[in-house]
Chain A
């Protein structure tokens, strides 16, 4: 099998042709019917196969060298998928479909290019910030996943802020709000996706000017 596409998580593929050739023991390509059928299987349900435009399935059967093999991919972030061809009396062949994965995308306040929410008020400006975090091929309604937030149960976050996570897979918005009587401090929350993690630093600071 050759010409296996190079997919990317978040981008679906439909009926991408995979070159499939079978050879005799004397290394002559079989262009006619196969003496034994060839079964091609995908190791992941996100990646399906079909023959000559037929129904897509994780496993298809090829009977002739004239048939075309197609690959279909949902765009879900997955580990490399094994495409395996087997036939009685023939050598089993494994090929890999490895879609490129995307890191978690953070959109919100940063400090030195790092995600950081700096609270400095209990109401009004500086008391609440939002940010979004998502991952192509993983989060969102298409793929049905959310990022896993790791918020320290002990630590300083709760001393000065509340963190509201997305209420459904349709949202990627996180809201950080200073509590009523905060104390200064710093904490870090983690957000985990598919093979990707980010940390977001949250701080609360005060500022006093004394003129004399």
Chain B
């Protein structure tokens, strides 16, 4: 038997938090003081139902509550001994609810004796958010009875969140699938969400299990206790960097016992595993192209690149029909060869007219254009082509001395050209207008790399065994972390691992960039980049 009286007892608000778990703490009798969800104990006597609804947080962590009362809670649906009672509004529209966060102390009278309760917190649309069902409790006559219930969160959806440190290695979303690049470990958090998208984590929340699909080429480390962060390490060894291993993880969230739902929430998240390859263009011994994984282990290119005197290499990382194509300039034959990864020759409709000893080449994903520098002794110029090989307008009349490298700035949509013996870096618009010319600290710049993380262009100074970085304004700085270099001739920035690869004679050095400071430090690789032969250019795919 339950009855409501016109009693309104108000108490101060309390915080969320605390360390409760599933349907814990049925306390009977005692002195009538209830513990109210982890905040300061409140002196509550009489007949009441007490709940504090946390305010909606602006950050993920603020929305987390160890014991689950959703910030979207709008009403309480409940039954007593199987009888469905009228839901209690739990907003400030109810005179028994006040403050922010909203604290409700609702008259709740019940006759002594054994009872069975079910409580379900719902949002304003009636969607269940958390609950506790079949709670048996005996109201002992003549005593102050307190029924303390930890509600179990009801998961309505699963969110998989790539962790910030892995942002470039793991992209995508749970709904559309994730792309994971490389064989280094990535971390992702599995977060269960209620019907209104509030995260349910911590003690008392449903604990999801995450399992890989059958024969998945990755290992999955279970989080330590109390953590929801999983570590995935791809073991995928690609035979073609342009193709992925398509696999998945399945997340099963078993409902908190007696929270209401009985059916597990299951969600499968698609994963595309890529193994990036670093293509190195070697100018020695007539020229060759070799490929490596990010650790410097050589990959097999079959068939081999058929370029006699390669000078530049670029990859079309656009999205049209030619996306993924590799373009290699062949200075000896004054041609541009096109390949489908990993190394199958293909053709494009255009013929790259106007070439004159083509050298460095770069791709502009913004307007789907290739830029290359002609090394002809009659005057080194730049030309632009679409990815089909058709010449495009490019207006620069600059006579370049010893064009050694090209790089495209994908943030500002400008092109940088290194002039080796000229000790310059030219900046051009996509239409070919010369913007600025940088000279500070340059000494025979022979390689360029653009770092979109910081918006810096890096130049490898063959003459001074150093690396110079320029910000978008052209201010330069020499980064001491690039140490131990001898006549660097090419460099590459790997956006997935945030690693610079610098050709150091006929060896390769790697330097990892700090995500927080931008500084670099030498990093060891498991591979040795074998068979390098006077490298001049590098690209990474994808």
Contacts and interface: CB of A to CB of B under 8 A. Distances in A.
Contacts, number: 129
A124 B20 CA distance: 35
B429 to A, nearest CB: 61
Nearest to A121: B109
A203 B142 CA distance: 5
Contact of A208 (B50, B52, B119, B150): B50
Contacts of A209: 48-50, 108, 117, 119, 146-147, 149
B112 A205 contact: yes
Nearest to B46: A206
Contacts of B5: 121-125, 127
A55 interface: no
Given A210-B50, A212-B18, A212-B69, A184 B109 contact: no
A93 B176 CA distance: 111
B32 interface: yes
Contacts of B119: 209, 211
B146 A125 contact: no
B145 A212 contact: no
Interface in A93-132: 111, 116, 118, 120-127
Interface stretch (B35-43, B184-192, B312-320): B35-43
Contacts of B144: 184, 205-206, 208
A116 B141 contact: yes
B158 interface: no
B304 interface: no
Contact of B37 (A121, A123, A205, A212): A212
Contacts of A127: 5
B139 A208 contact: no
A184 B6 CA distance: 19
Interface string B8-19: 000000001010
Interface in A185-212: 185-186, 203-212
Contacts of A184: 32, 142-144
B202 to A, nearest CB: 12
Main secondary structure of the interface of B (DSSP, over half): loop
Interface residues of A, number: 24
B110 interface: yes
B55 interface: no
A112 to B, nearest CB: 11
Given A120-B111, A121-B3, A206-B32, A211 B151 contact: yes
Contact of B109 (A207, A210, A212): A207
B46 A126 contact: no
Nearest to B109: A121
B47 interface: yes
A208 B4 CA distance: 13
Interface string B42-79: 00111111111000000000000001010000001000
A122 B46 CA distance: 9
Contacts of A208: 32, 34, 44-50, 108, 144-147
A156 to B, nearest CB: 8
Contact of B142 (A185, A211, A212): A185
A205 B69 contact: no
Given A125-B109, A126-B3, A186 B142 contact: yes
Contact of B36 (A118, A126, A207, A210): A210
B1 interface: yes
B52 A212 contact: yes
Contacts of A212: 16, 18, 20, 36-38, 51-52, 67, 69, 148-151
A207 B145 contact: yes
Nearest to A204: B142
Nearest to A211: B51
Given A186-B141, A210-B50, A212-B37, A124 B3 contact: yes
A111 B138 CA distance: 13
B271 to A, nearest CB: 37
The 9 A-B pairs with the shortest beta carbon distances in the complex, nearest first, are A212-B37, A186-B142, A203-B142, A125-B3, A203-B141, A209-B49, A211-B51, A210-B34, A118-B141
13 contacts: A120-B112, A123-B6, A125-B3, A206-B32, A207-B108, A207-B146, A210-B50, A210-B148, A210-B149, A211-B50, A211-B51, A212-B69, A212-B151
Interface of A: 111, 116, 118, 120-127, 184-186, 203-212
Given A118-B112, A124-B3, A203-B112, 8 more contacts: A111-B141, A120-B110, A123-B5, A124-B109, A205-B141, A206-B46, A210-B50, A211-B50
